[in-house]
Amino acid sequence: MKAAVIVFPGSNCDTDCAHALSDIMKMRVEFVWHKESTLPDVDLVVLPGGFSYGDYLRTGAIARFSPVMQAVAKHADDGRPLIGICNGFQVLLEAGLLPGAMLRNRSISFVCKHVWVRVEDTDTVFTRKIDKGATLSIPIAHGEGNYTCDDDTFNRLQDESRIVFRYASKNGETDDQHNPNGSRDHIAGIINEKRNVLGMMPHPERASETILSSPDGRGIWESLL
Amino acid sequence: MTMTALPKKITPEMIASHGITTEEYQKICDILGREPNFTELGIFSVMWSEHCSYKNSKLVLKLFPTEGPHLLVKAGEENAGIVDIGDGLAICFKIESHNHPSAIEPFQGAATGVGGILRDIFTMGARPVLLMNSLRFGLLDNAQSRRLVSGVVQGIGHYGNCIGVPTIGGEVAFHESYEGNPLVNAMALGIVKTTDIVKGKAAGVGNPVYYVGAATGRDGLGGAAFASKELSEESTADRPAVQVGDPFLEKLLMEACLELIHTDALVGMQDMGAAGLTCSTCETAARGNTGIEIDIAKVPRRETGMTSYEVMLSESQERMLIIAQKGKEKTIDDIFEKWDLHAVKIGHVAEGSGMLVKDGDQVVADIPAKALVDEGPIYKREKEKPAYLREAQQLDLKSIAEPADYGKVLKQLLAHPTIASKQWVWEQYDHMVRTDTVFYPGHDAALIRVKGTKKGIAVSTDCNGLYCYLDPHEGGKIAVAEAARNVACTGAVPLAITNCLNFGNPMKPDVFWQFYEAVTGMVAACKALDTPVTGGNVSLYNENPAGAIFPTPTVGMVGLLDDIEKRVPSFFQRDGDLIFLAGDTFNEIGGSHYLMAVHGLQRGLPPRLNLESAVALQKFLIESAALGITASCHDTAEGGLAVALAECCFNPASFMGARVDSLDLLRPSASSNETLREDALFFGESQSRVVLSVRPKSKEGIIRVAQKHGVPIYPLGTVGGTRLVIDDKIDVEVPEIADIFNNVIRKKMEQ
């Protein structure tokens, strides 16, 4: 398994993703600088978290214009796996590779903590080795994770089983108390129609080892292998 | 301060408004052999300010022990000290204050405090891996304090989160003495290969001098001078002296600089912090025993019409000075172009020892570099024991009624924001990025792993301002010893400290006495614990119209854990484990949080710290952790034993209960001729004590190790259930007290 981690100016989870994929999951990982116009021959592309372009304008709004994004879109168009985590998810939304948009967190504050996410769908390359309905402890760290979309989009996401993760309690109940940012219908992660582009706010790379409080994020990487 | 033309003639008013005395002005004239021009006057004023020259504190700071076998770069030599941790790696760390800017503009003041301390670390070639902080505010019932808390926390989060360095811990305390003069001390730690350490010095005549990073504006003009006077009602008019930060730019700058250290193009590097371009040019030249020549016409600017005075004194953020290897200019250009940053050759290393500043063809300053850095005035200030102490140190124990309801007092203490969980604060900080944070905030010390090794690095920041107010010497000792104890609780060996000495106006003899006493207390503890001082910062003039802050010498202690798998958490781990208290309890409620919160008294002598006991306890903690027999370890601090036991129950993974039923064993251990008061037993703050838990099979083991080091150890009870039961005096539901502890700050901030 070979993976590329895209590095935008301001990405700051790029080395964390590379560590999880390479040192823990034993994938071959290359960093790709955003000014590149082609991707190396890889199976997986990761858009990591961080503050690409300092969140100027809107989160992810400038990164979508980086030269590398055309090659990333092509990779996705070819049906190969692409995951955007946190700021990477925001970039996917701005690039139109996933539908919807992000608002400021309901609290107006940045929030960093472990949350529980319920696995809503396992018919994806990212979740096929995880039990449906399982709850995973994975950290979040964002100021704009309040996912929103119009009703039509929401109904499609729902009908096409494209909501992959929802914020929930440890026991899997969804309610406002366990939704850390106010996202629509507790959405934490969604996938595209072709089911190869996943965007999620929680950071699985921060939950891939027991020493870091939770290994629950590993299931996503293992599903890809 | 904006001006289009500089005054031609220096008047006594100008000298005074630059905070320069008549004697100092004469010295400047002697050094130059003439009168300075206005730009030179400005340069001297910032370099000879307390913030840059330590003119009032230097003689006292010399008392700190700065030698140690693992020190690669010692205090004062460079931007930050460096300590060898083996495996070819070293750590570089420093704490610095941004109190005055944060008082005026909390968000930017705190944010640029973080930005500045990070630059001090990557200037040395080290990759910053963690941030810590130590914050002091007025009480949360005051709307002004809440505004400051909110702004400072958001500012710290804004900068650290964006740049991608985790803020993994720290301390926050609230007291009315800090009203209007909050303390914002930020600490950063980086890791560097010992072969990659970069020095901030100029060398090689003819080597080019580069200006890299952000453009220069008028922000932060004279910030170092601003930090060297008291805050007053008019201080908000100094708002232009507060800098504005851009963490995104600093992220690019950091990556570019860290890329540069792996090339052969770099000779020296120095950040532009306090006193900006002035400080970085004269310091690099002075350290390298060479001259330096720059042309400020080439400096990238974001405002028009700036004078030479403004360019030299600007404290615009995210800028660095780089001394490059002649002939390798293309390497510099390529790296900074990759990161879309300015990199402009503004001058070169010159013969002689002068700092020559030109604006095009015109010379605007010509000063011997060493005169600015090393020949500043040094003052021996008068000190006098403050009059308030005679009264404040008195405490008649007989007049203090013991509480009727100990459970109620416990809840009252847990609900005090200084003791309560700071979760509301640290959830706004990304404390996990870089995936090295092993102990999240809330532990005694923060702990990170060092990828590629088995090592861990533990860090704690500590200071009890009330102790220092009541007895600065003992308070200084305790600040060091508590920080060391927190680090040792994790199993790590304390290595060295950085400190940030926050005091009032040093010209007042009673303030200077506090400063001197606190430092000598710290010196005694540093020597006993073998933790030299690697650097830090002094912040004086912390006064608001009501008077000086509590003396607050904050300590940032760094420790090394050889095997991260041997780490010891602060919380009880499993039902059935046995609870012990190590260390003796005395009739000490003077200066305690209990006395302040419950009896409304801020008086008495704070607890005494016996350095031999502190050293013995530390050895015991480190050895028992290395043997793997300690399940949890938490030090007793504000709120004493009862609060410590409660905190041990608040395991974030799952609350634990505890039954403590053998307190009788403690009662005879008080000083022989008086019986131990019950409130001192429950809430007193006797030093060098920790609450431990061990598996039942390790009972004999832990006692044996304690006895080996001469540490008194007492079995207290057992972990289990959902209640915290202490003797027949406290019986509370853990979820109920945890709710108080975890949510009080949130509730107060959202009121």
Sign of the Cα torsion B407, B470, B637, B619 reads: negative
The residue of A12, A107, A209 whose CB has the most chain B CBs within 10 angstroms, and thus the best one to mutate to test that interface, is A12
What would the pLDDT profile of B349-391 be if each residue is shown by its tens digit?
A: 999 999 999 999 999 999 999 999 999 999 999 999 999 999 9
Q: Are β-strands B208-213 and B319-324 bridged in parallel, bridged antiparallel, or unpaired?
A: antiparallel
Chain B: closest CA distance from residue A193 (Å) = 31
pLDDT band for position B671 (cuts 50, 70, 90): low
Is residue A210 left, alpha or beta, with left meaning phi > 0 and alpha meaning psi from -120 to 50?
Answer: alpha
* Cβ–Cβ gap B432/A55 under 8 Å: no
Res B189: pLDDT: 98
The residue of B246, B334, B433, B739 whose CB has the most chain A CBs within 10 angstroms, and thus the best one to mutate to test that interface, is B433
A15 contacts on B by Cβ (under 8 Å)? 434
Chain A: closest CA distance from residue B135 (Å) = 19
A109 contacts on B by Cβ (under 8 Å)? 154, 428
Asked if B450 and B436 count as a contact pair (C-beta separation under 8 A), the reply is yes
What would the pLDDT profile of B698-721 be if each residue is shown by its tens digit?
A: 999 999 999 999 999 999 999 999
What would the pLDDT profile of A46-59 be if each residue is shown by its tens digit?
A: 999 999 999 888 89
Torsion of CA B747, B543, B115, B245, to 10 degrees: 80
| Whether residue B347 has pLDDT greater than 70 | yes
| Whether residue A12 has pLDDT greater than 50 | yes
Asked if B529 and B618 count as a contact pair (C-beta separation under 8 A), the reply is yes
End-to-end CA distance of chain A: 7
* Cβ–Cβ gap B248/A9 under 8 Å: yes
Of A33, A53, A112, the CB nearest to B432: A112
Give the closest residue to B439 by CA, choosing from B493, B490, B492.
Answer: B490
* Cβ–Cβ gap A139/B432 under 8 Å: yes
- Number of CB pairs < 8 Å for A and B? 85
Top-tier CATH class for A2-224? alpha beta
The chain-wide mean pLDDT, for chain B, equals 94
Show which residues on chain A lie within 8 Å of chain B, measured between beta carbons. Answer: 9-10, 12-13, 15-16, 19-20, 23, 33, 35, 49-51, 53-56, 109-113, 139, 141, 143, 203, 205-206, 208-209, 211-213
| Whether residue B8 has pLDDT greater than 90 | no
B599 catalytically annotated: no
| Rg from Cα positions in chain B | 26
Chain A: closest CA distance from residue B215 (Å) = 17
Q: Mean pLDDT, to the nearest integer, of B300-319?
A: 92
* Cβ–Cβ gap B432/A53 under 8 Å: no
Q: How many CA atoms lie within 13 A of B381 on its CB side?
A: 24
A43: exposed, middle or buried (Cβ count in 10 Å: 0-12, 13-18, 19+): middle
A56 contacts on B by Cβ (under 8 Å)? 248
Whole-model pTM over 0.80: yes
| Whether residue B4 has pLDDT greater than 60 | no
Of A15, A56, A112, the CB nearest to B430: A112
Q: Which two tokens stand for residue B513?
A: 């006495």
| Whether residue B200 has pLDDT greater than 70 | yes
pLDDT band for position B222 (cuts 50, 70, 90): low
What would the pLDDT profile of B519-550 be if each residue is shown by its tens digit?
A: 999 999 999 999 999 999 999 999 988 888 99
Q: Tell me if ipTM is over 0.90.
A: yes
Long-range contacts of B143-148 (CB under 8 A, 24+ apart): B144/B179, B144/B180, B145/B174, B145/B179, B145/B182, B146/B748, B146/B749, B147/B106, B148/B102, B148/B103, B148/B106, B148/B182
Res B62: pLDDT: 95
Nearest CA in chain B to A113: B427
Per-residue DSSP letter, A194: T
A141 contacts on B by Cβ (under 8 Å)? 161, 430, 432-433
For B144-207, strand residue ranges (E) read 167-174, 183-193
Res B3: pLDDT: 45
Nearest CA in chain A to B441: A113
B430 contacts on A by Cβ (under 8 Å)? 110, 112, 141
The residue of B435, B438, B447, B651 whose CB has the most chain A CBs within 10 angstroms, and thus the best one to mutate to test that interface, is B435
* Cβ–Cβ gap B340/A203 under 8 Å: no
A35 contacts on B by Cβ (under 8 Å)? 338
Res B234: pLDDT: 61
Q: Mean pLDDT, to the nearest integer, of B154-170?
A: 97
Of A55, A112, A211, the CB nearest to B431: A112
Of A9, A50, A209, the CB nearest to B252: A9
Q: Print burial letters for B480-505: b (CB count within 10 Å at least 16), e (below 16).
A: bbbbbbbbbbbbbbbbbbbbbbbbbb
Chain B: closest CA distance from residue A140 (Å) = 9
Q: Are β-strands B658-660 and B723-726 bridged in parallel, bridged antiparallel, or unpaired?
A: parallel
What would the pLDDT profile of A163-222 be if each residue is shown by its tens digit?
A: 999 999 999 999 999 999 999 999 999 999 999 999 999 999 999 999 998 999 999 999
Q: How far apart are CA B237 and CA A182, in angstroms?
A: 40
Chain A: closest CA distance from residue B4 (Å) = 33
- The percentage of chain A sitting over the pLDDT mark of 90, rounded to a whole number, equals 96
* Cβ–Cβ gap A111/B428 under 8 Å: yes
* Cβ–Cβ gap A211/B438 under 8 Å: yes
* Cβ–Cβ gap B162/A205 under 8 Å: no
Res B674: pLDDT: 66
The residue of A7, A22, A112 whose CB has the most chain B CBs within 10 angstroms, and thus the best one to mutate to test that interface, is A112
Q: Which residues contact B432 (CB under 8 A, 6 or more apart)?
A: A112, A139, A141, A203, A206, A212, B166, B440
Helix (H) or strand (E) holding A198: strand A197-200
- The percentage of chain B sitting over the pLDDT mark of 90, rounded to a whole number, equals 88
B158 contacts on A by Cβ (under 8 Å)? 110
List, by residue number, the catalytic residues of A: 86, 203, 205
Nearest CA in chain B to A12: B164
Q: How far apart are CA B463 and CA B38, in angstroms?
A: 41
The residue of B168, B430, B436, B654 whose CB has the most chain A CBs within 10 angstroms, and thus the best one to mutate to test that interface, is B430
Q: How far apart are CA B122 and CA B110, in angstroms?
A: 19
Of A51, A109, A110, the CB nearest to B248: A51
Show which residues on chain B lie within 8 Å of chain A, measured between beta carbons. Answer: 154, 157-158, 161-164, 246-249, 251-252, 338-340, 426-435, 437-438, 440, 449, 451, 564
Give the closest residue to B713 by CA, choosing from B604, B638, B616, B606.
Answer: B616
B51 catalytically annotated: yes
Chain A: closest CA distance from residue B248 (Å) = 5
pLDDT band for position B1 (cuts 50, 70, 90): very low
Res B244: pLDDT: 84
Q: Print burial letters for B29-44: b (CB count within 10 Å at least 16), e (below 16).
A: eebbeeebbbbbbbbb
Q: Mean pLDDT, to the nearest integer, of B104-110?
A: 95
Chain A: closest CA distance from residue B251 (Å) = 6
